[in-house]
Amino acid sequence: MNPTKKLSEPLKITFRQLTPDEEDIFVREIQTAFDKAAVEEFGPQEESVIPREIVLSSIHEANTETFRIFSNGKGIGGVVVRLNPETRRNGLDLMYINPEDQGFGFGQEAWRMIEAMYPETEVWETFTPFFEKRNIHFYVNKCGFHVVEFYNPHHPSAFDPGTPGGEYFLRFEKRMKTN
């Protein structure tokens, strides 16, 4: 068991809307964070498990908001949320905490802040590859999501099966309490 690391200061994070001149930083950081788990599971990769084009497509998709996450002025991660005000069914498209900043509770605090930012949400949805055990633990045990679908060769998804673990993905949902 790996307990949460301790910070010398109280946990405090802020979100800042991603600016166009920060897109390269966002792409590089998310690739580093995502590639770490793929290398641990499958060994060295020739290309990033999350291509630049996919990250940029998510950032620029209609109805998304993209933020960098900061702690004490240092960039520690980022998030892209997909919003649908009509259905109130929103998505966590991408979220990462830089590897050196993982284990301090930043991800859980970031998720708590996202929920507070969008109180009209009835259902949150997200996806992760099956090999990403750390993500599965985070979404289910820390954030309250439930696995609702398992994509595999007998139940394929739209995800690229050419990437490591791409044939095996989980879809999660979190139903929010509504007034």
| 22-36 tens-digit pLDDT | 999 999 999 999 999
Q: Crossing angle of helices 23-42/52-60, nearest 10°? A: 130
Domain ranges of the chain: 14-175
Rounded mean pLDDT, 96-104? 95
Length of the chain: 179
Residue 61 Cα distances to 24, 64, 158, angstroms: 17, 6, 17
User: Would the CA dihedral through 70, 128, 165, 158 be positive or negative?
Assistant: negative
Query: By C-alpha distance, which of 71, 90, 77, 89 is closest to 8?
Result: 71
| 143-156 tens-digit pLDDT | 999 999 999 989 98
Look up the CATH superfamily of 14-175. Gcn5-related N-acetyltransferase (GNAT) (3.40.630.30)
